[in-house]
Structure 1
Amino acid sequence: MLSPESAAVIRATLPAVGGALDDITTRPDVLLGRIAHKHAAVGVTDEQYTIVHKYLFAAIADVLGDAVTPEVAAAWDEVYWLMAGALIAQEARLYLEAQVRPDQPWRRWTVVERREETPDAASILLRPADGAPAPRARAGQYVSVRVRMPDGVHQLRQYSISSAPGDGTRRITVKRVRGEAVPDGEVSNLLLDTVRTGDELTLSAPFGDVVHADRSPADHALRADIHRLVEALPAARSLFWYERPGTEEPTALPGIMSLDDVDLPKDASVYLCGPLPFMRAFRDELLRAGVSARDITYEVFGPDLWLADATG
């Protein structure tokens, strides 16, 4: 917790969050959990927080000048190390659970299969190159892929694990990023243009969670896998919404996801996952359709501030 002296200075220097400061400082895990997963996925270490602190506070002093009094500097220094301490603790737990050292987060994996999913997406199946067991993964997690670019610089990107997490392999599905008035995605294009069976890639342990959307059936990677899994469930059916429907999914609905044309049972149990604005809008639709609030379970893709948002 912040000391009373530092809390008073922070309230005075940052009025926009001053009124919510007590809630913020008593719930750092809500705000920082996803940052910790991202840091662990790229091998951030304790020592790097000291380096960030040095240059961040030098920049603050350079930009704000005399406004950074000793009292202000001390208060914000305390805030920084409060947040850093929370992240360091969470990241230490994540590294321990993943059974990796933060200074050695990378492992070589061999490509055992490549499958073209759409014209702009391919699945890459990998197995640990050293023959040792694959680290445990949970549904929805991602791995960092570390590649060396033609100019010699290493780049990192995160890709969701698109296979069941229980076996000794990993499958990632890479979609080509085509720039619109900006450059094409460097790593996605490199992987799709060059990676073949027998190659090796460098991966991190699995971390985090994910949500995803596609605009058309032709762009929808792993669509056949979803149908196969739904068919294996008794009395289950799938329903898709696409901005650009196609003949591949004749029962798909056009446009953004909506309940207007869905016969939804009043006693349905609903599970939502996505960005907060999407889930807030869809939750309102569910309530209007007669679904009880207690039957709606959610997971936020992004900082989980729903409970702290009085408008939710």
Structure 2
Amino acid sequence: MLSAESAALVRATLPAVAGALDEITTRFYATMFHDRPELLDGMFNRGNQASGARHQALAGSIAAFATALLDDPDTRRDAVLARIAHKHAAVGVTDDQYTIVHKYLFGATAEVLGEAVTPEVAAAWDEVYERPGAEEPDARTGPMGLDGVQLPDRPAVFRCGPLPFIRAVRGQLLAGGVPARRIRYEVFGPDPCLPGTAA
């Protein structure tokens, strides 16, 4: 739950933030990838970056999460947060990368909104950003696995991510009795045609 002071500030500034999210997320990704190009190597789907789908997804997530915190502050969002946590674990997101994302996302917000981002407003939105980790007490760290996952009968499995992840999960699915013909995947990562890139 947000503090009362932060909730009031987030509620007051949400229309301005939501209205500028396309510009904020576009600037965020451009600046972060310019300064930290290594994050493009297997961490983000380049097709989604090029089409703008990733920008739109992030913008929608920020606005929806902040709205949900304001409209129903006592409800935990375990399903949504678990999906985010699993996706992040699958691509190998590390704790320090959340700090990097915070730096560039909040920097882009301050650049776009200017003087409207006072220290108090920034602190209130910090609480929104920190809520996912605060509300996920059973979050797992490290590579995602299928331990403890009950697979349905005749599942169709779709995976995307770096090749080592694809291989690891495929092995677990086969060991769990999933036929190879029911396993689909999309690999993203460094372009294997670039000089010096391992295939």
TM-score (ref. length: structure 1): 0.34
Greater strand share, 1 or 2? Answer: 1
Greater helix share, 1 or 2? Answer: 2
Which has the bigger relative contact order, CA under 8 A and spacing at least 6?
A: 2
TM-score (ref. length: structure 2): 0.50
